[in-house]
Amino acid sequence: QVQLVESGGGLVQAGGSLRLSCAASRSTFSNNAIGWYRQAPGKQREVVAYISSGGSLHYADSVKGRFTISRDNAKNTVYLQMNSLKPEDTAVYYCNQLPAYWPWGQGTQVTVSS
């Protein structure tokens, strides 16, 4: 079983930046597609970005050009660089395989004020 621990969230003004990190308890990222998900209050969890097992990057239209996903296989960590943040980016952010497989971590709260 893999444990996922997300960090790096916080409160930021619109236009600001944050860098999220997701650390896995053991090696799993290099052989699987890994995604960042988010869930806003009253909404379903959605995928915002993912890296395929081959390393190609994919983004939801709502974050394309603003968010960048990356991974460090040696550290079992995946990152999400978020720039030009908007109030609609406010959500709890999680990572997991794609499709989701491991138990969800606690997530990290991102709040963007207008």
Residue position matching structure tokens 């004020």: 113
Rg of the chain (C-alpha set): 13
pLDDT at 2 over 80: yes
pLDDT digits (tens, 9 = 90+) for 43-78: 999 999 999 988 999 999 999 999 999 999 889 999
Helix (H) or strand (E) holding 46: strand 46-51
The β-bridge partners of 69 are: 80
The Cα-based distances of 54 to 14, 16, 30, 68, 77 in angstroms read: 33, 31, 9, 16, 16
pLDDT at 1 over 90: no
